[in-house]
Structure 1
């Protein structure tokens, strides 16, 4: 059975290589067969030099007309073909290699074509030198390219998969998809699909393979998505069997609602009712609340925490940054202290004495609501009766961290309820794929009186002009942010630093009251500046991206973000969300350093066109992919071998539907599918 056959049985796989492959989750021959090419190189056709397209991988051929060395920051070997129609550039080379490039010889080179100082070039191409009258044959099919790890080259993958495919011909894998599903979509068998994807034949539709639309790829993507949906359905079923404290409706909730200087929006009211109903059930709430920047998620969290506190339990609120945690603390103190609900505060900057005091209040149960950063899940933090865990911007925490906090509440056979909040809108497709085990609520309504932020995009050439205009607006009573991506000057990144910007404002506009905030400041100094800005004592706040989340100054209505092309869509959207929180019309200026890449141009265009966080999230998903959007590249979350969102989103409803069918009608097939694709991943059922 290939599902059990160890990779060490293959020729060339010793302990060292086996360890590297295990790091990728590959331990058996079946794992290797399911480690699918993520793209292909097309070396089946030559592109004439005059038809080469920048930023695409192509196979080119030409006659060597010169070769020379250049001395600069990095020495390089330049080989010109056909009088400079294409240049091959090598940074790593030796003189024996250089001597092979003789004038008049022909070179066939493959790689990404890029614009260079004197025309198109390929840096470190794959190449072959030959005599003009003896050209080598072109490859007859596509070359697969595999995700790898350090020390495992593509040639190794080709050798290993060749052996695995040979074994597959002798011992075919079991067909696990229901026959009706295979027929409905006219799909090839599993074994056919694996052979096609790993080793395309010349008569296969190579263009379809390059575009990931080949039936063999669809067959494997659908099976993978189906296995993933089975995993999520099992998580949901597992959680439904756990016991949690029943938290009945609370009079304190009504008392806080009456005391608020605002009314909840319809969307907030709808989400609150769903949360309150969950907390009254004897099974753990697992609810994700999405709300765009400024939609009012914090008050929902506070009302949920009150329901837990009034039932005699503790609520823990964890935020990813100190600024955001401090913002939550300030809100919770303002809302809960008048109701005699004690709030504890825990972060990494407390003195030893302060920390001991807070830990004692938490362990004794005196503190009903505990707010902090990652310090909350450290070993010495013990809760008396933790009934509710609230995690803000959960994708910024590793899965182990979230699990550690959840486990602190497991006492007397009870598991705490969990409320997850995010201001990073998650596209519906991604929510279905990544959070199918959670109930999802959306706050899709901004508080009344809020106006969309007007956004302009300008070149950094106009930086001084924008500075002067901003200073003029500040003199008229407007408060503003000026956001810089770095703390100090960096030649490598060529980005203006916050400290330099502060000096420049002082020189050009000495009458302005300007403050500076960045991540290396002491907490109390940062706090003092933020409070001064909030109180109106400062007209302008120069800051790094530490203000991305958690800063709420309703009077601030103007923001300038420089080097905006360096930031992703989610970060730009979060930053822009710091303005537009009051009744004034707010404006945001995105300054960019030309020239712009196509991706950067697309991002800035999206920011100019819309303030809708969900539209922005859809675009962000298309540009960056789900692993980056969710922050799961580092946290062991949503990763696929072949499936890719949003490209394959049309298959998700089918996968979800058949997952339910399998669980009810063929649990043994469901078990086998789940084991085939997900056996080597840990299910963090409660994280």
Structure 2
């Protein structure tokens, strides 16, 4: 099957000022939304469609189903009880009545709706005080003659500040007149389109911007129309190619092969108080194989909370140390970085390995001393936060960079660490305790090999999860009293630090004081992000050592705190957190042998999505199943925290809806990179643009 050959076409890159009526002011407004050339307008796709090709009888309207109606004005009412309001009652031959309601209107507009006037309106009916109503529908006043209906579905475009919908539609229409011939526009191999029964790009674009009256509106609204799938597959391919090329470029730079015998690794395994799980051993074998090659390892290790990723990272670091090289471990918060530092000191220092700590709060003499050790190679393993990537930090010979919870780091921070190697690029080991669904990993991490530690160490007990309405707080307080009386410990997690009028949430400070009053015999501590690091660390340590019974905290304890004696987790306002975060918090308990519980305390009433989230947590402890559900509910941008990476800014593709296209996209990406790199370049340029998207650099 031949790959499409490139064609020269110039119109795609023509500036928008080449369109009639686009002067400097309008060009600036369009450029603010990234619309610069004609191709940008071709790909500024509708977010929905309105069917104005038919009229619906008012009596037959369904709540929530958009419709177009036509009727005469029966009555008009202006009210000012809380704010100005205009109500217009319409009736038609079906003898039904519909209220049009407006909050923003001018006196002149209200005067137009004289009783008896014919009005055609489009909107979504919903139940109101006087039957069905449409709030701020689009409408037009009709004379007594015939007013023809539309002959095509009306596209609804994402709004652009300062440009009216009608003007935008006109501009896109002008841009579409400049679409080149099909073979000049098409970049995908013809065989692929035939195989998937998809239209050529030119046909797909024309249909999406001007769908005929008989187009499948339900398929268009769901994003499943063949024309939308045609654009989605090319957009997914563009992102895939962009990431793959990034990987190829990075791996062409070379790295130091770590081929030692692994004596230090064996000594560590012999000293550990536990045996590695089969999953840990499997993933370490994959990491070791990568590290032995003279090109940079790019591997993501994902595993549920408590699956033992840090041990795998420690063994990888020892392979670098054994060859006289350095390893660095970077975590997003000081709390998590300190937890890693404590673990690595406990495991590696008995083996004679020098572990150094470097974070923003290390200052003065201590900082100078740490920087000297990092620069002269005395510090063999360096642990810290993003402070490791500042310009003043020079490594002697960094061979391995380990990044924990990588999706929390900004793109440029990760690139800065990559540039710290002396002889070649450091190997990169990326870890996350937020399991990433397979479909998302295939797309979001196309430049990384993905390993999963998919079993928990033996002895970990599943956590029983229940959801309770906030009114039942007194019962919960009694339950905490009983658990602590038996010598166990509990967490109470709040989602805010101070009270807020805008959000109905119990703040940590208020909860801490209330619990102190309700449980005077218990030793209660408080931790939140605004405490000084030393105070925070002292409280955490006191809880870990059993000097506190109950720890009230914000979500700072989401990752990196290991207290085996804690067996009860209360999460306040659980309905406000995402599934992945709730699952992370729940993972703080169930680390010892005692049966553990997690209580999700929620404010009524619950939205449908919040109810589904809490039900999912009650049903399963499997992080991968939870991640799949989170992806369905929230979408990829939220799940990966990728507002900073551009990953979530797909124009047409949807990683959940279009997951079935990904295997095809992978095969096609491989083929294009080998056989037609110039076509690959043009596909990336069309969808991703000139700026490289460092989605997981």
The bucket for the TM-score relative to the shorter chain is over 0.9
Q: Which residue is equivalent to 2:252? A: 241
Q: Which residue is equivalent to 2:383? A: 371
Q: Is residue 231–residue 674 contact of structure 1 (8 Å, CA) maintained in 2?
A: yes
Of residues 490, 501, 522, the one that matches 2:532 is 522
Give the TM-score normalised by the residue count of structure 2: 0.91
Task: Report 1:221-240 matches (<5 A).
Answer: 221-240=232-251
Quote the offset at 1:189 in angstroms. 1.7
Q: More displaced, 449-458 or 665-674?
A: 665-674
Q: Does 1:627 align with 2:615?
A: no
Quote the offset at 1:681 in angstroms. 3.2
Of residues 312, 318, 323, the one that matches 1:311 is 323
Q: Which residue is equivalent to 1:9? A: 18
Separation of aligned partners in 2, 1:558 and 1:37: 49
Q: Which residue is equivalent to 1:661? A: 671
Separation of aligned partners in 1, 2:580 and 2:318: 31
Q: Is residue 242–residue 692 contact of structure 2 (8 Å, CA) maintained in 1?
A: no
Separation of aligned partners in 1, 2:23 and 2:249: 39
SS in 2 for 1:203: coil
Q: Is residue 645–residue 695 contact of structure 2 (8 Å, CA) maintained in 1?
A: no
Separation of aligned partners in 2, 1:64 and 1:11: 44
Quote the offset at 1:85 in angstroms. 7.2
Q: Does 1:568 align with 2:578?
A: yes
Separation of aligned partners in 1, 2:98 and 2:605: 23
Separation of aligned partners in 1, 2:544 and 2:683: 55
Runs of at least 5 residues in structure 1 that lack an aligned partner in the other structure = none
Change in 2 beyond 3 A, CA 1:197/1:105: same
Q: Is residue 320–residue 392 contact of structure 1 (8 Å, CA) maintained in 2?
A: yes
Q: Which residue is equivalent to 1:77? A: 85
Of residues 533, 536, 543, the one that matches 2:546 is 536
Separation of aligned partners in 2, 1:58 and 1:52: 7
Task: Report 1:159-198 matches (<5 A).
Answer: 159-168=170-179, 173-198=184-209
Task: Report 1:429-578 matches (<5 A).
Answer: 429-578=439-588
Could you say what the CA RMSD is over the residues aligned between the two structures, in angstroms?
A: 2.7
Quote the offset at 1:433 in angstroms. 0.9
Q: Does 1:26 align with 2:35?
A: yes
Separation of aligned partners in 1, 2:693 and 2:355: 33
Quote the offset at 1:103 in angstroms. 5.5
Quote the offset at 1:118 in angstroms. 7.8
Quote the offset at 1:170 in angstroms. 6.9
Q: Is residue 45–residue 651 contact of structure 2 (8 Å, CA) maintained in 1?
A: yes
Quote the offset at 1:542 in angstroms. 0.9
Q: Is residue 37–residue 197 contact of structure 1 (8 Å, CA) maintained in 2?
A: yes
Q: Is residue 434–residue 638 contact of structure 1 (8 Å, CA) maintained in 2?
A: no
Q: Is residue 622–residue 645 contact of structure 1 (8 Å, CA) maintained in 2?
A: no
Q: Which residue is equivalent to 1:36? A: 45
SS in 1 for 2:267: helix
Separation of aligned partners in 2, 1:104 and 1:469: 67
Quote the offset at 1:24 in angstroms. 4.2
Change in 2 beyond 3 A, CA 1:97/1:342: farther
Change in 2 beyond 3 A, CA 1:127/1:678: closer
Q: Is residue 331–residue 385 contact of structure 2 (8 Å, CA) maintained in 1?
A: yes
Change in 2 beyond 3 A, CA 1:625/1:510: same
Quote the offset at 1:296 in angstroms. 0.8
Quote the offset at 1:236 in angstroms. 3.5
Quote the offset at 1:109 in angstroms. 4.6
Change in 2 beyond 3 A, CA 1:206/1:468: same
Cα deviation digits, residues 535-574 of structure 1 (max 9, x gap): 1111111111111111211111111112111111111111
Separation of aligned partners in 2, 1:180 and 1:574: 45
Separation of aligned partners in 2, 1:292 and 1:433: 20
Quote the offset at 1:120 in angstroms. 6.0
SS in 1 for 2:11: coil
Runs of at least 5 residues in structure 2 that lack an aligned partner in the other structure = 1-9
Separation of aligned partners in 1, 2:377 and 2:35: 46
Separation of aligned partners in 2, 1:233 and 1:374: 26
Number of residue-to-residue matches in the alignment: 682
